[in-house]
Structure 1
Amino acid sequence: MKFFSELRRRNVIRTLVAYLGIAWLVLQVVSVVFPILNLSPLTGTFITVLLIVGFPVVFYLSWYFEITSEGIKRTAEDTSEPVKPLGKMRWLGLAVIVLGSMFLGYQIYGQIKADMAKSREGTDMVKRAESIAVMPFRDLSPDQDQAYLAEGIAEELTGLLGQLPNLTVASFGSALKLSEQGLTPVDAARRLGVQTILSGSVRSIGDRLKLRLELIDSGNGHTLWTDNIQRKLSDVFAIETEIGRSVVNLLQDNYLQAGEVTNSAKTSSTDAYVIYLKGREQYRKQTTESLKQARKYFEQAIAIDPEYALAYVGLADAILMLSKDILRFGILEPEIASQLAEQNLAKAFVRQADIPLAYAIQGKVFELQQKPDETLAAYDKAISLNPNLAIAHMWRYLELKRQNRYAESLQALEKAYQLDPVSIATMFNRAVEMTKHGQLAQAKLLFSQLIRDFPESPMGHQGLAGITFQNGELAQSLLHWKTALDISPENITFQHSYLDVLFQLNITDQPMSAVMMKEYKTTSLLVSGQYNELFKQMEFQLAAQPDDPWLQFEAAWYQLLVGEQSKGIKLATKSYKGFSEVELYAMPYCSPGIEIAWAMQQSERQQEAQTIINRCDKQVSEAQHNGITNNIYTYLSARIAALNGDNSLAIEQLDKAVKKGWREWWTDKDPLFTRLKDNPEFQHISQQISQDLALQRAKAKELLNL
């Protein structure tokens, strides 16, 4: 009651009523006069908002002042006291209210302005969505010869949308693969895990470009928005930015004005752009021949427009992919490829410094140059410019993994898989990590999906070969390696892995090339029991290369398995100083360190041996902490327990390893288990391995007609 009494005493209510009356009158004038004068509706909106936010300011002023016939006077705080000037705190309060009202008015006006612009442009928010994929556009040209243009524009839009805030954009590579499989946009969206799909068609006649666009809700398949665009081909970059802005304004509760979305990597030459898109078409085929053709196209685009930054980036990328590396396409030496790529990237950066792909490729160049810190910095820069650049996340995963930053690497891999779930690299590496973590059923499903998605790739069979080997299913593993070899017969890794399983099964009568026979001669002699010939071979090699630590260790291992332990111990301890720390503790076997530790124990070098054992034990603990539980780590735990004299734990861990699929034929000969040789439980486990190997050998011969 006291508050209302003060309102009456200070004449606040009378002032506010007068203000509201004036405001109503002003709004009536605005509603009548502004349409006649054809003034912008925003002017009326501005006046309305100004009147609304002025209300609290008038209220505050009317509390402390009143308008009289003698002018504006200060209202007394109390009728019994004289009138005092308004204090600093009261003026500060007025300033706060004025600023707050102005801020509120700015927000209200901005939102109304954005809503009006959306309505005017036909881009009122039709769905709140945070993810999208751009499907390859259909080629509607009469001769069906413009796929490079249709796919190229869709790929460029994917990159453009990926740089815009608050939007997850699936990789164009995954979208392209699903389109090639004939999936509908809705089915593709569900596979990609996105809420919306942008699809369309492209037709170019002369210098005219016609696009039809359709935005689809993947949840129910309903069309949210369509548009038809007909412009000159030279306006393609403006078209792409216009589409990008419209999509964001349709899906997000904000408004991007014209000019806020830009395509910085553009060219003034339509011909250069067309040639560049032809290069991208060849690049996506990912063969040595297509990459060589892509390189030519990018060079032609640069010849037409030497200022075309993106063409330099494409050229650097193609050159890098042509380097001789197990994961690349092998016609250029890595040093030359990295140097050429670096030169072209430098030209791109001079012309345009904010192309995300350029930084990702720069990271790969740094990787070839063995500059780990610069590598990660480049990948991070690429991701900061385009958080949806899947290849940058994928390469970052590989680099973090190389630097033993395992938890971070898994996060990068998961992001890469989220953005690019239908990619050989992401599917393969994700399934490999699942295998390491004991998620064999899930890994098997993903490798099988990889085979269905990419039947021409051997990588799915390679993954299944690894899983079946780890499960102890050596016959199936051999079959998968054989299938991988049939797809890629010159792959050295597949050749070695196939032969490794053959020797594991003691199948030594299969033909090998001269090169492979030379590389596997000692292994063949070992498995077939020709020990005297084996030791003669090793003595000859040691005489030829007496300072090679790996050769010393190999000879030591053969002696420890089937020869004279004293010679093996001497050779193993001799090799110790020749290894770097990284080489000594190589996981998952922690070998050759763990074998050398045993040899040191036999040589009364207990302290040195224990240092190595502790380091291996620590690495096993770290792996277990990261969720890695495969049979190799379990077998290593058994060896560590044996070296520490805990025979009971060693038997327990060895039994677990065998149950997980450990089937190495030399287990009963392992010198690290010398103290267990007479243990009945150890003998039972060894017999179990031998029996299962015999069973797998018979299955393999039946499956492969050996």
Structure 2
Amino acid sequence: MPDIFLSYNREDQAKARLFADAFAAEGFQVWWDTTLRAGEAYDEVTERALREAGAVVVLWSKKSAASRWVRAEATVAHRQKTLVPAMIEACERPIMFELTQTAELSHWAGDRTDPLWRVFLADVRQHLTNRSHEVQGTASNPSREEPGIQEIYLATQSKQSLNRRTLIGGGAAGISLLGTGLIWWLNRKDQQGGAMGSQGAEDNRVAVLPFLNLSGDPKQDYFADGLSAEVRAELARNSALQVAAQTSSATFRERAQTAKEMADKLGVAYLLDGNARKADSLVRVNAELIDGKTGFSLWTQTFERPIDNVFAVQSEIAASVTTALVDRVARQASEKAPPTKASGSSPGGTQNVAAFEHKLKGRALFESALGGQTDLDALSEFDAALALDPNYAAAHAWRSRTLSVLYGQSVSPNAAEKMRLDAIAAGRKAVALAPDFADGYSALGFSLFNVGLDVKAAKPIFEQSINYGRGDGDVLTGFAVFCARTGRADEAASTIARATTLDPLNPTVYRSAGTIALLARRYGEALPLFERALSMNPKMSVAHSFRGTALMLLDRQAEARTAFEAEPNRVFALPGLAILDHLAGKKAEAQAHLEKLVREAGDSGLYQQAQVFAMWGELDRAVAQLERAYQVKDAGLANLFTDPLLDKLKLNAAYQRLVSNIGFV
């Protein structure tokens, strides 16, 4: 097994030799293609060495960045966690590797005493140590089979005809109910044992449980989950029904509680349960409507269709459930919104089964909320769906949303600008293809606001999303977030109240509730909401740092430090620590935290740098960073108007110009 596999472009061979010789001088066994022997099969030997190497050193240059073989080798290394990249020439790396920490060695000429080389060498040694431990730990439990280098190469080659695979980042934390109204509502839930209890639930509230996968293949989970999500979306189109959102429904995937207990927790009158089996060319779906008060079945039906009729199945299930419920819901509501008929496809949908499956896979990856490579894989699935059906509006919407959520992470300015424009374009495409598709408007509004920083353009788009999506919890939440950040607190509260009833067991609701209390300067009210969110999901991003901010502004500094140190997202943790140390008179420590933020986040942390300077009282520097953030379209500026950490800037003329330019006032 070689210690190091060297991946490079042939035209960079002279520079690659410097690396190979330096590694060999350190005692490492290096594999690069000059070691191939006559008669050896190039692809087989290369792939074996690539997979066996403890560290894969990829040398990025203009030529290697354009090489499909180097990209494929880097992709395998990334999946194996053996990738250790270095820049040997100023260039734009392939987008999926922009987020990977890369050594800057374009100046290096082989000097083994060079400090930057020694740092890079230490990174390589650490990867070799980690890899050795992984190999020992998994020797008796081999991982699932990975795609081969040729397969990845061909996939890379085929993507040249697809939309560019991009990634971007930014603040996507939702904002929820304002003030004491939510506190009262949460207390009432606690007293009644759930979301007001199914006995008190409105008679038109239904939850769609995640369909069970009966295929015997765990890799097919996405299909069963996706099918239940599509049925949920179909039901939500009918304004006579209130449909619980997906996050809360997914809480009961294991069916460890009775139907009555699940309905009580979700605050719904009815449950739609089901299972799906996909095999060869057939899909078989069993669906059951259950009375949440009694636990008795009201209706059950089995659908078996060729796989290319899966769209008809989901529409038939939705229509049958609506019909079964219509006599039980309020008469006025049902007269205003007659039952949805099976149309074979919903707004924004497709008739291409393969495209549909790619979209389901992408959505499952994106909603896993693991970030990084998972989001890249989601984008790849959405691109694959669009390659099969360029008019698939839902895939465009999810692609836009994924790009917008990731916008602003450590990427080059040119790549970031391409990503920003691509996110907005994907949202516009979704709306153009399906003018009555609520999620398309929601995705476009989000991109225009968070990526485009254009409040005036986003406002009518978000309002249109509500016109079509009053039964969709995600759409409602997106609109509420927009309202809260633009100073429309009453609208935010009333909208998120409905969204919250649709998804009462979602920790992001409580994080959002705490956020809006924080923005309203009600710091004491924010704390129990953040704590509720973290009790449900201790690894939740941003919640720790927002809780730390509330504690800091309440002058509870020791508790605030603990909260910031627990925050997994360092771009949010470091500003808080820098502010805390400055308040404590520890200027050197505060400066060290700021420098670390600058070093780790670069321009993607300009907004956070401005927060630090504002709280330090260095207002001119704070405004200067905000102006730089505006030039690069930093997504953090979506918080500009209501951020308590910028309160000292409220009377500053330059700050007010920025507020006006973005369209907050």
- With normalisation by structure 1, the TM-score equals 0.52
Question: Greater helix percent: which structure?
Answer: 1
Q: Which of 361, 366, 372 is residue 455 of structure 2 equivalent to?
A: 372
* Corresponding residue number in structure 2 for 1:339: 421
8 Å Cα contact 2:485/2:641 also seen in 1: no
Per-residue CA deviation, residues 105-125 of structure 1 (Å, 9 max, x unaligned), is xxxxxxxxxxxxxxxxxxxxx
The alpha-carbon deviation at position 202 of structure 1 amounts to 0.9
8 Å Cα contact 2:424/2:448 also seen in 1: no
Q: Which of 292, 306, 322 is residue 248 of structure 1 equivalent to?
A: 322
8 Å Cα contact 1:421/1:427 also seen in 2: no
Moved more, 380-389 or 265-274: 265-274
3-state DSSP of counterpart to 2:299: strand
- Distance in structure 1 (CA, Å) of the matches to 2:373 and 2:582: 36
Q: Does 1:502 align with 2:581?
A: yes
Q: Which of 134, 140, 146 is residue 220 of structure 2 equivalent to?
A: 146
- Distance in structure 2 (CA, Å) of the matches to 1:341 and 1:305: 18
Q: Which of 442, 445, 459 is residue 360 of structure 1 equivalent to?
A: 442
* Corresponding residue number in structure 2 for 1:170: 244
* Structure 2 residue ranges without an equivalent (≥5): 1-200, 328-333, 600-612, 625-638, 657-665
The alpha-carbon deviation at position 595 of structure 1 amounts to 11
- Distance in structure 2 (CA, Å) of the matches to 1:385 and 1:583: 29
8 Å Cα contact 2:202/2:268 also seen in 1: no
Q: Does 1:217 align with 2:295?
A: no
Structural mapping, 1:94-173, within 5 Å: 129-173=203-247
8 Å Cα contact 1:324/1:332 also seen in 2: no
The alpha-carbon deviation at position 409 of structure 1 amounts to 2.5
* Corresponding residue number in structure 2 for 1:591: 648
* Corresponding residue number in structure 1 for 2:516: 433
The alpha-carbon deviation at position 303 of structure 1 amounts to 2.0
8 Å Cα contact 1:342/1:365 also seen in 2: yes
Q: Does 1:385 align with 2:455?
A: no
- Distance in structure 1 (CA, Å) of the matches to 2:623 and 2:220: 60
Q: Percent identity among equivalent residues?
A: 20
8 Å Cα contact 1:196/1:218 also seen in 2: yes
* Corresponding residue number in structure 2 for 1:6: none
* Corresponding residue number in structure 1 for 2:104: none
* Corresponding residue number in structure 1 for 2:620: 550
* Corresponding residue number in structure 2 for 1:312: 396
8 Å Cα contact 1:432/1:443 also seen in 2: yes
Moved more, 247-256 or 129-138: 247-256
The verdict on how the C-alpha distance between 1:508 and 1:219 changes in structure 2, with shifts beyond 3 A counting, is farther
- Distance in structure 2 (CA, Å) of the matches to 1:229 and 1:511: 63
The alpha-carbon deviation at position 300 of structure 1 amounts to 1.4
The alpha-carbon deviation at position 146 of structure 1 amounts to 0.8
3-state DSSP of counterpart to 2:253: helix
* Structure 1 residue ranges without an equivalent (≥5): 1-126, 521-537, 539-547, 555-581, 597-614, 616-706
3-state DSSP of counterpart to 1:179: coil
* Corresponding residue number in structure 1 for 2:361: 278
The verdict on how the C-alpha distance between 1:340 and 1:428 changes in structure 2, with shifts beyond 3 A counting, is same
3-state DSSP of counterpart to 1:198: strand
* Corresponding residue number in structure 2 for 1:291: 375
Moved more, 376-385 or 436-445: 436-445
The alpha-carbon deviation at position 551 of structure 1 amounts to 4.7
* Corresponding residue number in structure 2 for 1:226: 300
8 Å Cα contact 1:209/1:233 also seen in 2: yes
Amino acid aligned to 1:366: L
3-state DSSP of counterpart to 1:591: helix
Corresponding pairs, count: 413
Query: Which of these two proteins has the greater Rg computed from alpha carbons?
Result: 1
Structural mapping, 1:443-482, within 5 Å: 443-482=526-565
The alpha-carbon deviation at position 312 of structure 1 amounts to 2.6
8 Å Cα contact 2:352/2:388 also seen in 1: yes
- Distance in structure 1 (CA, Å) of the matches to 2:285 and 2:538: 33
Moved more, 237-246 or 448-457: 448-457
8 Å Cα contact 1:323/1:332 also seen in 2: no
Amino acid aligned to 2:218: Q
8 Å Cα contact 2:580/2:590 also seen in 1: no
- Distance in structure 2 (CA, Å) of the matches to 1:551 and 1:439: 28
The alpha-carbon deviation at position 137 of structure 1 amounts to 0.9
- Distance in structure 2 (CA, Å) of the matches to 1:330 and 1:175: 40
Amino acid aligned to 1:294: A
3-state DSSP of counterpart to 1:203: strand
The alpha-carbon deviation at position 271 of structure 1 amounts to 1.9
Amino acid aligned to 1:302: L
- With normalisation by structure 2, the TM-score equals 0.55
- Distance in structure 2 (CA, Å) of the matches to 1:585 and 1:274: 41
- Distance in structure 1 (CA, Å) of the matches to 2:579 and 2:216: 55
The verdict on how the C-alpha distance between 1:347 and 1:550 changes in structure 2, with shifts beyond 3 A counting, is closer
- Distance in structure 2 (CA, Å) of the matches to 1:446 and 1:330: 37
Q: Does 1:301 align with 2:375?
A: no
